[in-house]
Amino acid sequence: MSIEITILGCGSSSGVPAIGNYWGKCNPDNPKNKRLRCSILIKTKKLTILVDSTPDLRQQLLSANVKRLDGVLITHTHSDHINGIDDFRCLNLLMKKDINLYANKDIISKIREKFGYVFESLVPEANGFYYKPCLIPNEISGLFKIKDLEIMSFEQNHGFTNSTGFRIKNFAYCTDVFDFDDNALGNLKNLDLWIVDCLRFEPHKCHAHYEKVMQWIGDLKPKKTVFTHMNYDIDYDYIKSIAPRNCMPAYDGLILKV
């Protein structure tokens, strides 16, 4: 089974440029430095799966021409990964049904606190009209399935909280990660493609930085690594010039296949 991954956004919580038209060290003349908030779309022959619902979700789904989803995976509930949740209403209208959301128990609980209405049923008087987003919560832990597709979920250290990483066959997605325990590292062996958090060059308390990612790559030896969740201090051409040949920065709209 082949998997196609589209980078819908590879920016940090501020995006690039940040408000104020701040580009930091990024060259504003290079369109690959313009980054929406961090999200990917995963496609197989039968399934289309979204990871996270960023504040840029409408723009991202329009750019990728998404008209249906078989599931939404949520890595954690920081606002840059969840605050686009209301835009699922338009997909409900197109699909004429609720959308399955997959996350661990703690994440689903936090979504209920912030956006409890998305898990509520439509009132009978609506007669099937989606006047709000409707999502079906599915609690996950470890290995789970969306139809016939097996997905491994695992906990990641995100500094002062945790996030969820995902592995599908020989592809793994690890955004918003500061460190891995032994269990998580065990899920990151023998990868053909690894998309991983690389916020900046300087160390950070909640995110991996370039040197730390290089250490992980040296230990795990994935065949190809793509950096994501990059802020305005990471210029596309510069990091590409110093990275090993089997590593590259993401850019919005990049399509990868495994």
User: Helix or strand or coil: residue 67?
Assistant: coil
Contact between 122 and 86 under an 8 Å Cβ cutoff? The reply is no
| Contact between 134 and 99 (Cβ < 8 Å) | yes
Q: Judge whether 51 and 163 are in contact, CB under 8 Å.
A: no
Per residue, the 3-state secondary structure of 171-220, as one string, reads: EEEECCCCECCHHHHHCCCCCCEEEEECCCCCCCCCCCCHHHHHHHHHHH
Q: What one-character DSSP code corresponds to residue 12?
A: -
Residues of the chain falling short of pLDDT 70 = none
Is residue 5 within 8 A of residue 193, CB to CB? The reply is: yes
Name the residue with tokens 């945790």.
162
Q: Is 137 exposed, middle or buried (0-12, 13-18, 19+ CB in 10 A)?
A: middle
Residue 247 contacts residue 217 (beta carbons within 8 Å): yes
Residues facing 90 on adjacent strands: none
- pLDDT value for 134: 98
Rounded to whole angstroms, the Cα distance separating 38 from 99 reads: 21
What is the predicted pLDDT for the residue at 1? 76
DSSP 88: H
Do strands 71-73 and 99-103 pair parallel, antiparallel, or not at all (unpaired)?
parallel
- Measure the CA–CA gap between 176 and 162, rounded to whole angstroms: 9
0.85 surpassed by pTM:
yes
SS3 91: helix
Q: Give bridge partners of residue 256 from the DSSP assignment.
A: 5
**Distance in angstroms (rounded) separating the CA atoms of residues 207 and 184:** 16
**Residue 117: predicted pLDDT:** 98
pLDDT value of position 94: 98
CATH number at residue 12: 3.60.15.10
Sign of the C-alpha dihedral computed for residues 241, 213, 150 and 163 taken in this order: negative
Express each pLDDT in 87-121 by its tens digit. 999 999 999 999 999 999 999 999 999 999 999 99
pLDDT of residue 142: 97
Residue 44 and residue 147: Cα distance in Å, rounded?
12
* Domain that includes residue 132, residue range: 4-257
Q: Are strands 255-257 and 4-9 parallel, antiparallel or unpaired?
A: antiparallel
Residues 41 and 26: their CA atoms lie apart, in Å, by: 25
**For residue 28, what are the contacts with CB-CB under 8 A and spacing of at least 6?**
17
Q: Number of structural domains, the chain?
A: 1
The pLDDT assigned to 211 comes to 98
Q: What is the pLDDT of residue 177?
A: 98
Distance of CA 57 to the CA centre of its chain: 11
Give per-residue pLDDT as tens, 127-159. 999 999 999 999 999 999 999 999 999 999 999
pLDDT of residue 60: 98
Cα separation, 163 vs 7, in Å, equals 19
